[in-house]
Amino acid sequence: MRSPDEYRRGAGPLIARIELTPVFVPFQEFVVDAMSQAGGLGMAIPAEEPWLGGDFVICRLVAEDGTTGVGEAFLWLPETGAIPEQVIAIIEHSLGAYALGRSPFDFESILHHMEVNATRNEVAKGLIDMACYDLMGRLSGQPVCELIGGRQLEEVPLAALIPLMSPEAMSVVARWFGADGWGTFRCKLGAGAEEDVRIMEAVRDASGAGSRLRVDYNQAYTVPEAIRAIRAIEPLGIDVAEQPVGAFDFTGMAEVQRSVSTPLMAHEGCFSLADVETLHALGAIGVVGINSDRPGGMTYALRAVDFAERNGMGVVLHNQPLGIASAWQVHLAAARFGSLGHDIELFGHVMLSDDLIVEPIDYSGGTASVPEGAGWGVELDLDALDNHATGATVVIDSC
């Protein structure tokens, strides 16, 4: 195998083909049942359409020698504002041209050309970037975590997600996860300050004094309501409060952050590195939230981690992805865990009925083991891909 530096000097196969497949994977039945207790979503986000599963785009970058790198993007209209067909279309008609005929090791140049020729579309750009890292790993024979700084640990500690239900039900879920070794819990809140307190008291009692708690309001409150609600639960010891006010109310987030001790994290309104930098400049966040789609791919995720560390902020990696993006998150956490300050949250393997990879990641004991092997260390299950595809695979090549 050649070294990454040799590939950057132009040796090795170039990207010859891009394959894009739209996918829908339904939630497991018990997840739908649990979410039905809070209007069908298990959280306070103001969406009216039922949420029954995940829409995704799977991207395969195929090199001249047949080596393939895989990426995955998660889409949900109430948050992402796009459907798989839109992501595929922007890659087919614009972004793909800047990857074809290039080495994946030219990812910085590929990203630059995508940025200057098409504004926004972070999810689509990140999808290509993500697949570049898998392809780089497979061509050089190295796990991605070794390409981005080196593995710091073999097993990444996880945070458990508890949907918005009654205090009694949420405490039962917390006790179950705690018995399995989980030490961090993210609780969905937003049913009112008094109910939030009852929930968090029940979860704290169930999870124990040594557990770490974070909360997610999913935009449930006005600024005064958010201040009151967060202050009410702060005596219970809260690591992070996520998106207490509207997604794009950056100044409202800043007002809340000035009024509470708990560090805030933006999610629904934070898609780009520029969003992260602006929120920080306003004093609106104390923690940076990252997943494979926000701020978009591995390159921007690494920049966001570095930005957070330079500015004294923690980082939360979280999402409910399929197996490819789960491996992405585990590799990032394994290489940069000392910079995060928080356990990561991966819940796709719990929520979704399939992960679309041949061998599942080991999630035993409240941790995720770093997959072994080159690239992400996991293999896309092509039969499962076909079973869950919602349309034909779009192929873009250099011919």
Per-residue pLDDT at 89: 98
Separation CA 137–CA 205 (nearest Å): 44
Query: What is the pLDDT at residue 11?
Result: 62
Q: In degrees rounded to 5, what are phi and psi of residue 70?
A: -120, 140
Residue range 162-210, pLDDT digits in tens: 999 999 999 999 999 999 999 999 999 999 999 999 999 999 999 999 9
SS3 of residue 322 by DSSP: coil
Q: Are strands 264-265 and 287-290 parallel, antiparallel or unpaired?
A: unpaired
pLDDT tens string 72-128: 999 999 999 999 999 999 999 999 999 999 999 999 999 999 999 999 999 999 999
Ordered by start, the domain boundaries in the chain are: 4-142+382-397, 147-369
Q: How many CA atoms lie within 13 A of 75 on its CB side?
A: 24
Residue 12: pLDDT band with limits 50, 70, 90: confident
For residues 227-241, average pLDDT: 98
* pLDDT tens digits for range 29-66: 988 887 776 667 888 887 888 899 999 999 999 999 99
Same fold: 4-142+382-397 with 147-369: no
- Mean pLDDT over residues 206-235, rounded? 97
As to burial, measured by CB atoms within 10 angstroms (0-12 exposed, 13-18 middle, 19+ buried), residue 256 is buried
> For position 224, what pLDDT does the model report?
98
The pLDDT tens digits for 264-293 are 999 998 999 999 999 999 999 999 999 999
DSSP for residue 14: P
* Number of C-beta neighbours around residue 151 at 10 A: 15
Cis upstream peptide for 46 (omega within 30°)? no
In angstroms and rounded to an integer, the radius of gyration of the C-alpha atoms of the chain is 20
Evaluate whether 153 touches 337 at the Cβ level (below 8 Å): yes
Question: By C-alpha distance, which of 234, 339, 221, 220 is closest to 288?
Answer: 339
Torsion angle defined by CA atoms of residues 243, 323, 121 and 241, in that order, rounded to the nearest 10 degrees: 10
CATH H-level, domain 4-142+382-397: superfamily: Enolase-like, N-terminal domain (3.30.390.10)
**CB 288 within 8 Å of CB 314:** yes
Proportion of the chain above pLDDT 70, given as a percent:
96
What is the homologous superfamily of the domain 147-369 according to CATH? Enolase-like C-terminal domain (3.20.20.120)
Q: Which residues contact 369 (CB under 8 A, 6 or more apart)?
A: 154, 155, 156, 330, 361, 362, 363
**Can you give the pLDDT at residue 39?**
64
